[in-house]
Structure 1
Amino acid sequence: MNADAIIIGAGACGLMCAVQAGYLGKKVIVLEKNEKPGSKILISGGGRCNYTNQFASAEQFISANPHFIKSAFTQWTVDDTIGFFETYGIAGKEKTLGQLFPDDKNAKDVVQVFTSICEDFGQEIRCSADVKDIEILPEGFKVSYEKNGKTVVLTAEKLVIATGGLPIPKMGATDFALRFARKHDLKIIETAPALVPLTITGKDEEWFAQLSGNSVFCEVSNDEISFEENILFTHWGLSGPAILQISSFWRRGETINLNLLPHQNMVALLDEERKTNGKTLLSTLLNRMYTKKFTDALGKFLPLSKPVAALTKAEIDLIEQTIHHFKVKPAGDKGYDKAEVMRGGIDTNEISSKTLECKKIPNLFFGGECLDVTGWLGGYNFQWAWASGFVIAKNL
């Protein structure tokens, strides 16, 4: 045997697994298809890396089995993540909504933590290693990979598949884990892009496109959930944190609701203005809340040039509906190229929640994004990656 375990994938889960295995005195070899480890870590948060969230719990994850991650999150907590990085000189600084970023460091420093520890423990990270075949042996696994045109064969008693999901193919994302799972009759929960911008086509396309670059603080909701953060208008539709969040819960054909003024009551504002200065134009009032460009665009629906005192009840109802219940029916999403994560994946019923070992194939472990565990935007998916890497390492 070449090692105690082979880890396929040097992303967040695979790297944490290698490090934690090193602490426990286990020898692993990590195989990474890309030229360097941690490719997705390096681009996360615009290179700043939102590495966890102070509020992370099972509540912020989508899965066919919402209880699945509770065991992992008990074994490796947010405090464990914070303490781990602080030990290696990365202190967390909260940006908003519990999101922790390295205070005076960045994503490169996060990856450096893992590569340095691996080096200290003698854990090998072999990059540009394209795994071509996995053979299940009576005593373990035989993994064949190609590097520089040559085929290399490794054997180990245990195997970890932490190859991530389908988003950002240009960063080397593949369906490797899903293909392997299907080949061995493991159930897959239907996959789709998540945390992804939404597109608008048809008669509304031009209206959204003219607002490209405008950002508005909103409550975005559907029948299932709501999020309060900024939305960003683009030349092809909608993006921004609140849209990315709702996208994980949106299904094609559904309508989403935008409350364009979540912390104020538009009717009350009109009443107040009517009492103080009824001659104020509706456009003037709306310009206090929005950019002029956005207010002007609302002129497609609203009587902007009318003084507030002259508004009829029907017009006030229209204003209230437009501001607090703006309906959008996206045509689709921007796909895996622009998605931050994948929804769905290998069915968690195929995996032990306590050890992350595959129930049908002993000594095989799955972790990270390839499983049917999808977190909200804001560091939650990293927390799952670290936790799953730790749990697997304990059981190698």
Structure 2
Amino acid sequence: MHHSTPTPFPSRPSPHRPSAEPASQTFDAIILGAGAAGLFCAAQAGKAGLRILLIDHARKLAEKIRISGGGRSNFTNRDLDPRAPQRHYLSQNAHFCRSALSRFTPQDFVALVQAHGIGFHEKHKGQLFCDHSSNDLIDMLDRLCQQQRVQRWQHCRIERVDFQPAADNAPEHPPAHGHYQIHTERGLATAPRLVVATGGLSIPKIGASDLGYRIARQFGIGLIEQRPGLVPLTFDAPTWHPFKSLAGISLPARIATGVGKNATHFDEDLLFTHRGLSGPGILQISSYWQPGQPLCIDLLPGLDLTASLQQARQHSRKLLANELAQWLPARLAQTWTQQSPAWQQPIDQTADKALRQLADSLQQWHITPSGTEGYAKAEVTLGGVDTRALSSQSMECRQQPGLFFIGEVLDVTGWLGGYNFQWAWASAHACAQALAQPLIPATVADSTKRRNA
């Protein structure tokens, strides 16, 4: 058990605080972070009759929901298979997410959206978006919290988190339980349960912070190394110089990385940028790409380009670049053929070997990124709180009673396309169900479950 140990929170005095800290306000649970996971957990726990306090340091509510999906919020994905959810998620503990995702499915969240009259549509590969605006989703979550009388301290800085263990002789508390004390610029709040829904490090300009990781460290909970996920990839200047002029061109591609059992590929659009590559296919592969690994890109998937060029040569005298433009954007075809003198002549004068080399260069384009655009452009954070320290049923820490982690702060990262929001809803729902149960430490609950199995 971990006794109260201050974290390295900012200690500057608040201009809003009176000279003496007011008496503590007590709640059944306190949730840190009013994003997707925090809002949904608060609403669900409030519905169970609990007195909930939701605290967030940002000025605006759920800004990450607001900007997601081009302002229309890709809020879930119909294609998620709850029987094998790990297919769509990355984690050091691959099966951890299965329990929560199978108990609160995309269909469950869709039913909630429909009940609130929010129009939505499927855009691509099971991805569901709001018809009008992501604000509809934020308003729904806010309304659900208000209906359940959830208190919200918004734009409120958290200064310190402490844990006060219960006295051994206190009969009103089960063994090993105590109270969490949240010191904020609005005063002190206490509760026997604390839910950390603070998200990751991605998009710092809207308020991302490392608060959740600091709390995990404070209570001795392991962390998996964090890095940007679903992020554009960049290349060093000499490598990218031939392709810099292609910025803005987008086309379908097959993008692969890794070898053997670690090989992964995605068939999605690719976008050329001034600094490298982006687009859905690149964002997807970025979560699997490891520094130093090359990408293998097929810019014309499903086409036998060598055979197509040889056939075109029989009846065409066009420049090779012009002939190639029937399959590729003209600017891309023109730039690509500039890489070799053998590709800069009429197709009927181009040798078989040159045609094969051109086809290979387009369909097995090996190029090694130098890095990523970082957290500023990353949609999610890979890594985070080690899920092996938590109960997959409740999201509660096994060794720290009453402490829960949900959403992106955990080492569970979904694919592009609504999977990360579905993890937020599902983990929040699992946590809220646990909050509604009597105060039993996760370790006790797990051992009871094993005895009853």
The one of 64, 74, 78 aligned to 1:40? 64
Q: CA deviation at 1:332?
A: 0.5
CA contact (8 A) 2:243 2:335 kept: no
Query: Would you say the 8 A contact 1:200–1:208 is kept in 2?
Result: no
Q: Residues 324-363 of structure 1, C-alpha deviation per residue, up to 9 Å, x if partnerless?
A: 1011111100111110000001111011111100111111
The one-letter code matched in structure 1 to 2:150 is Q
Amino acid at match of 2:208: A
Deviation of 1:308 after TM superposition, in Å, equals 3.0
1:5 pairs with 22, 29, 34, which one?
29
Instruction: Give the counterpart of 2:104 among 49, 66, 76.
Output: 76
Q: Which residue of 2 aligns with 1:19?
A: 43
For 2:401, give the aligned amino acid: P
SS where residue 227 of structure 2 aligns?
strand
What is the percent sequence identity of the aligned residues?
Answer: 38
SS at match of 2:242: helix
1:192 to 219, 222, 227: 227
Which moves more between the two structures, 245-254 or 196-205?
196-205
Which of the numbers 215, 232, 239 marks the counterpart of 2:250?
Answer: 215
Aligned partner of 2:151 in structure 1 is: 124
For 1:167-206, what aligned pairs fall within 5 Å after superposition? 167-206=202-241
Summarize deviations over 1:147-173 as a string: whole Å, max 9, x none: xxxx41001111100000000111110
Q: Is residue 55 from structure 1 mapped to residue 90 from structure 2 by the alignment?
A: no
Q: What are the ranges of 5 or more consecutive residues in structure 1 without an aligned counterpart?
A: none
Q: Which amino acid in structure 2 is aligned with residue 296 of structure 1?
A: Q
Could you give the per-residue CA deviations for residues 163-211 of structure 1, whole angstroms, max 9, x where no partner exists? Answer: 0000011111001111111122211111100000111113122222211
**Whole-angstrom CA distance in 2 between matches of 1:395 and 1:225:** 36
- Give the corresponding residue for 1:374: 413
* Alignment-derived partner of residue 231 in structure 1: 270
The whole-number CA distance in structure 2 between the counterparts of 1:241 and 1:7 is: 33
Quote how far apart the aligned CAs of 1:278 are. Answer: 4.1
Q: Tell me the equivalent position of 1:321.
A: 360
2:439 matched to which residue of 1? none
1:360-371 alignment runs, 5 A limit = 360-371=399-410
Partner of 1:340: 379
Please tell me the root mean square deviation across aligned C-alpha atoms, in Å: 1.3
TM-score (norm 2): 0.84
Give the C-alpha shift of residue 306 in structure 1.
2.7
Moved more, 208-217 or 294-303: 294-303
From 112, 115, 118, the counterpart of 2:142 = 115
Could you give the per-residue CA deviations for residues 289-318 of structure 1, whole angstroms, max 9, x where no partner exists? 222211111023344443333332321221
Instruction: Choose which of 285, 294, 297 in structure 1 pairs with 2:335.
Output: 297
Partner residue of 2:305?
266
Q: Distance in 2 between matches of 1:70 and 1:42?
A: 27
CA distance in 1, matches of 2:383, 2:193: 25
Taking the aligned partners of 1:36 and 1:305, their CA distance within structure 2 comes to: 55
Give SS of 1:273's match: helix
Alignment of 1:240 with 2:267, yes or no, is: no
Q: Following the alignment from structure 2 to structure 1, what is the Cα–Cα distance between the partners of residues 222 and 432? A: 24
Residue type of the alignment partner of 1:6: I
Size of the aligned set, in residue pairs, is 390
* 3-state SS, counterpart of residue 195 of structure 2: strand
CA distance in 2, matches of 1:203, 1:170: 30
* Superposition TM-score, scaled by structure 1 size: 0.96
Confirm or deny: 8 A CA contact 1:178 1:345 kept in the other structure: yes
List per-residue Cα deviations over 1:9-38 (Å, max 9, x = no partner).
Answer: 000000110111122111211001111221
CA–CA distance in structure 1, aligned partners of residues 361 and 115 of structure 2:
51
State how far apart, in whole Å, the 1-side matches of 2:243 and 2:384 are.
33
Offset of residue 118 of structure 1:
1.1
Q: Tell me what 2:171 maps to.
A: none
Query: 1:31 — aligned with what?
Result: 55
Structure-2 separation of matches of 1:98 and 1:388:
20
